[in-house]
Structure 1
Amino acid sequence: METLYSQTLFASRYFHPYIERFRPASTVDGVALIFFILVTFGYLTRGQLWEKPDPHYALYFERPQQLDGGFSTTQPSRNIAQRLEEGNYQAVIFWGSQSGTSERFAEAIARECLAHFGLLALVADASDYDAETISLIPKAKFAIFILSTYGEGDPSDNTAGLWEWIKTVKEKNLRLDSLRYIALGLGNSNYKHYNRVVDVVADAFDVAGATPLIPRRKADDAQGGTEEDFLAWKDGMFDLFKMMGYEEQSADYRATMDVTFSVSAAISEENQFGILSHYQQSSTCSAIVPLVVKNSRELFTAGERNCVHMELDLANHPSIHYKTGDHVGVWPVNPEDEIDRLLDALGLQERRCETVIITPSKENTRFKIPSPTTLETVFRHYLEICAPVPRKVLVDLAQFAPDAASKAMVMEIGRDRQRYAQLISNTHITLARLLQIVSPLESWISLPLSFVLECLRPMQPRYYSISSSSVISPRKVAVTALVVNKTAAGPPESIIYGLTSNYILSAGRIPSNSAHRIPRYQHINIAESAGSNKVLAHIRKSKFKLPITCSTPLILVSAGTGLAPFRAFIAERAKLHVVGKPTGRILLFFGCRDAESDFIYKGEIEKAKEGLGDMLEIFTAFSRAGKQKVYVQDRVAEHSGRVLEVLEAGANFYVCGKASMAREVDMRIEEAAKLSKGLSDQEVKAWIDGLKKRGKWKVEVWG
């Protein structure tokens, strides 16, 4: 109170001369003066007479897990050698993945290393550590690299730091004499630069003095052989461990998570409706958001196939933008029939709507399933329950078989590579279908739910080249999707439905042209727009871009839905031409089965031709229109002189479609360049590589 009295006395003395000088001349002035004095008094007494601070205020900001010896909230070290030492790990498994396969393999290897040999290995996202600290890993430990190659020999996004460091290792002749390593590459031999990433990394390590513990191995997905190549590589690595002195032990199943049902845990809206909370927004990818489906239509005019044009509305998401040439990642949901089949096989149909709580068995384990959520949400949104079951899963599954006959059957198929290959070629073997084939009358009630969640792959997005121009349609993203359905050999005959393409067909409410019944999907409906659904999606940046200068000529080569980004390119150039911008010449090469039924966006291309006139030249190839099959690469070879002429004039060259087509196009251009320019094989390769390095030759391919 003494302090308060002294402050009040000080105020009165301080303001007294001013009060005397400005003595109120009226009642209004008097009220104003009193108000001023009260405000001043209130300011000086804040925290003493009123709004006293809570002595326990700081506790609101304490994390309860820090109390009583809980874990520290300090950021983990980015020094991999330090992390290995702190965690007493004997090895690190680096993964570099664009689609999640390398990550899945890395996690599987870590589990099996511990179960079979007691070897503790750290699973490491390559982007979580500073690549230069790899050189600090002591010789007593070793590193395993599982690295994917995608596109035209490109590393995955999360290995950008490793890729740059490898360049430094080569340029500065750095030494890595203490590094012992094992390397597996994942790639597709249909691509020109098959498994380039693992070759570049391993070559750099070898030159720098690192020791490869076993020869590098490459998995080839061209014929779907990635899983078998992985198993063969793993067997060789485990043989190495035995020679290194690790004693193999019986591998009983050890769960990496605890899964329990609860009736009281609250479920967030995101977890209930499948917003993928584990997904990390990055500099190349936007957040996942639900986008309203607009203006869906069928692009094929005849036949039993569907090709869907769908527009996704960005209006409710002002922070998300795209540029012409970018990709949209569509997150599908699993069909209801397959969800029911799996719940039936596990004997969990009655518990589908119960809340599931998933808890890691050890610290720093990351799961791509939210918790809490419901079991049907897990199977609908978060796991690839429609994917084929890897052979390794069959061997592990046998211990939980409901009877001796089922166990013997599963073990026999799992250990016999030829029989397994025959089974999956004849029948679409998902986990649910496998369980029902092996034990058609009895559910697998003894199969731990944790095992199911571990063995199924996490759901991954399917990427589509955006077929709209951000200049013309900045708030709507167009998707062009061919609906893919394959028939397994049988018997019995089995249809393998393309998961995402059929999901898009269903979301767009477009009738199927197929004679077979399409799967049923649950959609996010919107009340404010009758007949519309929402699709979970995100935008991914691409390097498949138009040149900055619109006067630069373009050569566009595509087949089928590879036309999608070129629809956007041509529409944007046509718009710029209409407003008076100088636009460069465009050569469009397009191939499909038939001119009448499969020529997607035919009307739009013809309209653009009317507007651009001679600035747009169109060369088409139809593989089933006549007796002789003609492909787009044949048209490129036929008009190679024109192509080379426009290239010499500074054109940008683009190819979009299947990898096999792109490789054929490369060969035809190389042959033409050798003949017309008189170049050797090495000179032609150097010429094309130069175009690619300068961004003048861009390829976007798949399969």
Structure 2
Amino acid sequence: MESFTFPFDINELPSTLKPFLRTLQSSPILPALKPSSVSDGVAAFLFLLSALGYITKGRLWDKPDPYYKVWFERPQLADGGSSNKGAVTRNIVQRLEEGDYQAVIFWGSQSGTAERFAETLGREFHTRFGINALVADISDFDVESIADLQQKYFAIFLLSTYGEGDPSDNAAGLWDWIKRIKDRATRVESLRYVAFGLGNSNYKYYNRVLDVVVDAFDAAGATSLMPPQRADDAEGATEEDFQSWKDDLFALFRSLGYEQKAVAYQPTVSIELGERVQSEKDDSVHEISMHHQQTSLNSAIFPLPVRNCRELFTAGDRNCIHMELDLGNNDLVYKTGDHIGIWPCNPDEEVERLLETLDLNERRKNTLRIAALDDSAKPKVPPGSTLEAAFRHHLEICASVSRKTVFDLAQFAPTPEAKAMLTEIGQDRTRYEQFTSSTHITLARLLKLSSSLEPWTALPLSFVVENLLSLQPRYYSISSSSVISPRRIALTALVVNKQVADENHSTINGLTSNYLLSASKLPSNAKAATPSFQHTSPVGGDGGTVFAHVRKSKIKLPITSSTPLVLIAAGTGFAPFRAFLAERAKLHALGKPVGRMLLFFGCRNRESDYIYRDELEKLQETLGDKLRIVTAFSRDGNNKKVYVQDRVAEESETVLEMLNAGANMYICGKASMAREVDGKMEEAVAQQKGMNESEVKNWTDGLKKRGKWRADVWG
């Protein structure tokens, strides 16, 4: 039989294909397919071409990308920013053995505080006790392997609680495992652990994550080396609570036979002042996004021109501003109910005070050369920034100074008197609390107060940068509807100026609210002078340009416009509800069906700070009996103080009726108010439905899980 001839040279093909094609060539199949016409020949050629393509897939074409897995790796692993670089195991015991670690510090963090504490603790374990500790993101490991930790290891958990008693996103796996421990009676008898929780006592479920995890571990046979402790951010005490817990933890290790060394300051970054920037142009505002990651929840940061600013209070010594930001032609979009994150800068006065105290006024325009000396050190200032830009745009120089920082500053004091003062305050918590309760102490003010005549020339810049936090955005509920105003974002901001009970009657100025007031060009109603800020040049706006990004929120209108709404707000908590009502009014005007709405609104005084009163009256006219407004005023010229939670209690029967009919209930404002509203509603449910405490909790939890009861609150 005549053999078949391929229309190509087999010898030129890869060696892996040659044996197969020679076998096919000598078989009786292909010669039998010898074409008898041109059309048969074309068909045979196309058949062979398709077969050849199929056979050579992955060899000659469509080869697997050897770096495909990189798309699914964390970028910090490639940059050397993780302590787990090069690790191929998610088993925590194996990882500890490979790295010759004696302890593991797990962190569950939503805002970054617990992570920062964990990194600090890991460094101090090594420098003070010689303990090699692995600082671990809980999500980097299989949480089931925690049960295999032997007693020779110390396990430390730093866990934050936020929202409705929820764990941080990276601790979701731990949370699920803890539930399985309870359900399956899993034992963890070899686990020796210490736990510290971060939370805010203004919230109903204060430090719930810590309590649930500790209870589960103890029930499963784990050994707690010391009682769990809790940080409370209600009064800004998180840093001090952590320091006190750390002192107790170090005392524990000393009792276990570890020798604690006195450690001199060891920088984690090297900082030098380089060349001087000649341009007057602000060299760092455009770099403000270096600590911001664009995600599915957070947009990129954009400069937004300020438009249409107005004062909402009609009397008094406070400001509440309405401000609109123009989205222009950029890619920024938002949905009704979202949050806007405002990136402020520090006030001129504080920047000047810090530069002067450090005797660096003449070098403000010199660039910073920063190099990490420790794997855990994270950049806070963009490369090429000037010293002034770092203090103005990237570091929290207006924040209070922690007791540990006060104590550590003493070693660099320019005079013996300053050293003695700082040592006394820094080593005694009671003394520190007395001092800070009557004085707002920023870093610059502390340096100035302790040594008013001598500059702090011996204080390393690395110490300053390490002990100042990165400047973070402040979030506001968007008070405009994306349906009505898709290219304008409105926000409602109360300007905060808190009086301090010291001999000088000092004022603590809210950073971002005063920054927004400055950008609005509106006059201040405060009795004391307000800070001044640098703003980028306005682009045809009423004021300056602010940097902002949008963050998605769970506070959303129901898809069906006929769903009834119960809206509960105090003060500027009304902001998202302004958008809700405006959107519903628009639909109603177009003839669309809208559900019944019950709004509870509380503020101090009917005449002075009833914000958006004119708008609400117009909405009432438009919506008619679809909207009912119930107000509460705590300082309305009579002796009785009425709060929004009191009105909710009075109208609880109506609220329950609406919830039973399928209404959505939203609460927005301070966490303490929301907690009180929850309590009033639970009392009403117990009384009107005849439920016990457990049944009430199941009922409210059911509404919250179905998205029928939502809260957007702050501390």
TM-score normalised per structure 2 = 0.83
User: Which moved further from structure 2: 239-248 or 594-603?
Assistant: 239-248
**1:486 is matched with which residue?**
498
**2:131 is matched with which residue?**
119
**1:305-384 counterparts in 2 under 5 A?**
305-318=318-331, 320-363=332-375, 365-384=377-396
Matched to 1:558, the amino acid is: A
Aligned residues: 632
Aligned partners of 2:633 and 2:641 also within 8 Å: yes
**1:430 is matched with which residue?**
442
1: CA distance, partners of 2:277 / 2:140: 32
Aligned partners of 2:276 and 2:365 also within 8 Å: no
Deviation at 1:138, TM superposition (A): 5.1
Matched to 1:229, the amino acid is: D
Aligned residue among 453, 478, 483 for 1:441: 453
Aligned residue among 99, 106, 110 for 1:98: 110
1: CA distance, partners of 2:283 / 2:155: 37
Matched to 2:517, the amino acid is: L
**1:151 is matched with which residue?**
163
- The SS at the match of 2:157 is strand
**1:58 is matched with which residue?**
none
User: Which moved further from structure 2: 272-281 or 554-563?
Assistant: 272-281
Gap change, CA 1:266 and 1:544, over 3 Å in 2: farther
Aligned partners of 1:78 and 1:130 also within 8 Å: no
User: Which moved further from structure 2: 332-341 or 242-251?
Assistant: 242-251
Matched, 1:638 2:650: yes
Matched to 2:400, the amino acid is: P
Matched, 1:503 2:519: no
- The SS at the match of 2:235 is coil
How big is each residue's C-alpha offset from its partner over 1:486-540, in whole Å with a ceiling of 9 and x where there is no partner?
11111122110001110111112221111221111111224x4255422222221
**2:294 is matched with which residue?**
281
Matched to 1:228, the amino acid is: E
Aligned partners of 2:90 and 2:140 also within 8 Å: no
How big is each residue's C-alpha offset from its partner over 1:274-320, in whole Å with a ceiling of 9 and x where there is no partner?
423132222322222222222222111111110111122233431x3
**1:34-183 counterparts in 2 under 5 A?**
77=88, 79=90, 81=92, 82-135=94-147, 137=149, 139-183=151-195
- The SS at the match of 1:571 is helix
Aligned partners of 1:80 and 1:130 also within 8 Å: yes
**2:581 is matched with which residue?**
570
Aligned partners of 1:271 and 1:371 also within 8 Å: no
Aligned partners of 2:80 and 2:375 also within 8 Å: no
Aligned partners of 1:270 and 1:276 also within 8 Å: no
- The SS at the match of 2:289 is coil
**1:457 is matched with which residue?**
469
1: CA distance, partners of 2:623 / 2:523: 35
Aligned residue among 596, 600, 607 for 2:618: 607
- The SS at the match of 1:701 is strand
List alignment gaps of at least 5 residues for structure 2: 1-78
Gap change, CA 1:96 and 1:504, over 3 Å in 2: farther
**1:405 is matched with which residue?**
417
2: CA distance, partners of 1:231 / 1:544: 36
Matched to 1:307, the amino acid is: C
Aligned partners of 1:272 and 1:374 also within 8 Å: no
1: CA distance, partners of 2:87 / 2:381: 23
Gap change, CA 1:161 and 1:269, over 3 Å in 2: farther
Gap change, CA 1:203 and 1:286, over 3 Å in 2: farther
2: CA distance, partners of 1:388 / 1:408: 20
2: CA distance, partners of 1:616 / 1:333: 41
Matched, 1:303 2:316: yes
**1:41 is matched with which residue?**
none
Aligned residue among 532, 543, 546 for 2:554: 543
**1:653 is matched with which residue?**
665
Deviation at 1:185, TM superposition (A): 0.6
2: CA distance, partners of 1:216 / 1:675: 36
Aligned partners of 1:427 and 1:493 also within 8 Å: no
- The SS at the match of 2:290 is coil
User: Which moved further from structure 2: 125-134 or 538-547?
Assistant: 125-134
**1:192-341 counterparts in 2 under 5 A?**
192-263=204-275, 271=284, 273-318=286-331, 320-341=332-353
Same amino acid, percent of matched pairs: 60
Aligned partners of 2:105 and 2:157 also within 8 Å: yes
- The SS at the match of 2:594 is coil
User: Which moved further from structure 2: 221-230 or 339-348?
Assistant: 221-230
Matched to 2:295, the amino acid is: S
**1:556 is matched with which residue?**
567
Deviation at 1:146, TM superposition (A): 1.5
How big is each residue's C-alpha offset from its partner over 1:451-475, in whole Å with a ceiling of 9 and x where there is no partner?
1111112222211111111222222
The two structures, once aligned, show a CA RMSD in angstroms of 2.5
Deviation at 1:596, TM superposition (A): 1.8
Aligned partners of 1:100 and 1:460 also within 8 Å: no
Gap change, CA 1:677 and 1:616, over 3 Å in 2: same
Matched, 1:617 2:600: no
Deviation at 1:156, TM superposition (A): 2.6
Gap change, CA 1:71 and 1:548, over 3 Å in 2: closer
2: CA distance, partners of 1:137 / 1:271: 47
Matched, 1:597 2:611: no
Aligned partners of 1:99 and 1:460 also within 8 Å: no
- The SS at the match of 1:276 is helix
2: CA distance, partners of 1:126 / 1:546: 34
User: Which moved further from structure 2: 368-377 or 185-194?
Assistant: 368-377
Aligned partners of 1:591 and 1:620 also within 8 Å: yes
1: CA distance, partners of 2:80 / 2:693: 61
TM-score normalised per structure 1 = 0.85
How big is each residue's C-alpha offset from its partner over 1:390-420, in whole Å with a ceiling of 9 and x where there is no partner?
1111111111111212111110111222222
- The SS at the match of 1:551 is coil
1: CA distance, partners of 2:358 / 2:606: 49
**1:387 is matched with which residue?**
399
Aligned residue among 575, 581, 585 for 2:596: 585
Deviation at 1:87, TM superposition (A): 4.2
Aligned partners of 1:285 and 1:540 also within 8 Å: yes
2: CA distance, partners of 1:264 / 1:592: 51
Aligned residue among 493, 515, 518 for 2:527: 515
User: Which moved further from structure 2: 352-361 or 516-525?
Assistant: 516-525
- The SS at the match of 2:288 is coil
2: CA distance, partners of 1:480 / 1:300: 11
How big is each residue's C-alpha offset from its partner over 1:36-95, in whole Å with a ceiling of 9 and x where there is no partner?
xxxxxxxxxxxxxxxxxxxxxxxxxxxxxxxxxx98998654726355445444333233
Aligned partners of 1:80 and 1:137 also within 8 Å: no
Matched to 2:268, the amino acid is: T
- The SS at the match of 1:365 is coil
**1:42 is matched with which residue?**
none
Matched to 1:477, the amino acid is: I
2: CA distance, partners of 1:104 / 1:364: 10
Aligned partners of 1:265 and 1:372 also within 8 Å: no
Matched, 1:693 2:705: yes
**1:533 is matched with which residue?**
544
2: CA distance, partners of 1:236 / 1:72: 30
Aligned partners of 2:285 and 2:393 also within 8 Å: no
Gap change, CA 1:266 and 1:173, over 3 Å in 2: farther
List alignment gaps of at least 5 residues for structure 1: 1-69
2: CA distance, partners of 1:303 / 1:559: 18
- The SS at the match of 1:511 is coil
